Amino acid sequence: MATASKRIDLEILRRRFNYGDALVLGLVLLGATSIVLVLAGIVYVLTDHAWKSITEFGFGFFTGQTWDPVKLKFGALPAIYGTVVSSLVGLAIAVPISLGVAIFLSEVAPRFIRVPVSFLVEMLAAVPSVVFGLWGIFVLGPRIRDPLEKTLGDWLGWLPFFTGPALPVGVLAAAIILAIMILPIITAISRDVLQAVPQSQREAAMALGATKWETIWSVVLPYGRSGITGAVILGLGRAVGETMAVTMLIGNQYKIDISLFSPAHTLASTISSEFSEAANPLYLSAIVELGLVLMVVTLIVNVTARLLIWRISTRAGGGGQL
């Protein structure tokens, strides 16, 4: 009797402790931990290599406007300015279009249109950035110079944003190519957020006499506001870190000019164009510090976006995970 009871206890313990489950759990924990370690390692390496520049220039690195490898004087303000302006202008162009496409796909379009259009939007995100850059140089750039910039200069030349000669490269050209590149990201996430709005919200509004468009503007969009904001911020994160297409179209002139027609530099374009020429240790350290700044900004943007998307997921499903 005791032997039978002992066998039963062993069987219960065997069921409670499954070696396969333990192995899978260990592998999953190892994978999650490795991601954190890799991220921490990247931050450590960047900080270590940028330390010479950090100690040499201090906070003046962020306010300086000179990038002179000969005199070893480096300031990041023009690159930060170019990054912020090109990203925000691109975002201002992309968000209305993306939101309109997302509303069309989630609320208006019949299935036989929704599926192929959604596929095409997602395929746009798969196009390599260098291809966008080449297309921008040979197709978009000349059309930006004439008629877009010439028309803006003729009609709005009294504003400081639209002064100067019309050029095929510059902040406006980079912003438009960024808008095209982030459009599928914002559209896809916004569409998913709008589809996550409970159907009961729509039915309640229409039961009270609201039209289709009143329901969209008064119920669906406010309900998904946090998720849409998260999608916009994710698009901003992509725009901030974009390198090749921006480098090919922004003109790469290290200065601050309020005109959108003028050439400029971004953090990413400065790194890509200057890294191979960095022979002096301080020069290389300054470039790495630009990369550190870019990584910190990108991390903050993406974490904020994930928190906002998690918030809308929690509201829609009663729970959610980051």
Banded model confidence at residue 320, pLDDT cuts 50, 70, 90: very low
pLDDT the model gives residue 245: 92
Asked whether the predicted pLDDT for residue 135 surpasses 90, the reply is: yes
Mean pLDDT of 128-157: 91
Nearest to 190 by CA among 126, 276, 97: 97
Burial 209-245 (b: 16+ CB within 10 A, else e): ebeeeebbeebbbebbebbbbbbbbbbbbbbbbbbbb
Considering only CA atoms, give the Rg of the chain. 26
**Looking at residue 125, what DSSP letter applies?**
T
**Burial label, 88 (beta-carbon count in 10 A; 0-12, 13-18, 19+):** middle
- Domain positions in the chain: 53-317
As a whole number, mean pLDDT of residues 175-204 equals: 91
**Contact of 44 with 37, CB cutoff 8 Å:** no
What's the whole-number mean pLDDT along residues 87-106?
93
Question: 270 is written with which tokens?
Answer: 């400065």
Tens of pLDDT, residue by residue over 307-316, are: 776 776 666 5
pLDDT tens digits for 45-95?
A: 999 999 999 999 988 998 999 999 988 899 999 999 999 899 989 999 999
Residue 108, pLDDT > 90, answer: no
In this prediction, residue 136 carries a pLDDT of 92
What superfamily in CATH does domain 53-317 come from?
MetI-like (1.10.3720.10)
Mean per-residue pLDDT of the chain: 86
186 and 124 in contact (C-beta within 8 Å)?
no
pLDDT of residue 18: 64
Give Dmax (Cα) for the chain.
100
H or E element that contains 123: helix 111-124
The per-residue pLDDT for 139 is 92
Confidence of residue 11 (pLDDT cuts 50, 70, 90): low
pLDDT at 319 over 60: no
Q: Is the pLDDT of residue 141 over 70?
A: yes
CA separation for the pair 262, 173 (Å, rounded) = 10
Using alpha carbons, list the distances in angstroms from residue 57 to 43, 66, 127, 265, 268.
Answer: 19, 12, 39, 20, 20
Distance CA 155, CA 61 (A): 38
Instruction: Indicate the length of the chain as a whole number.
Output: 322
- Which pLDDT value is given to residue 260? 93
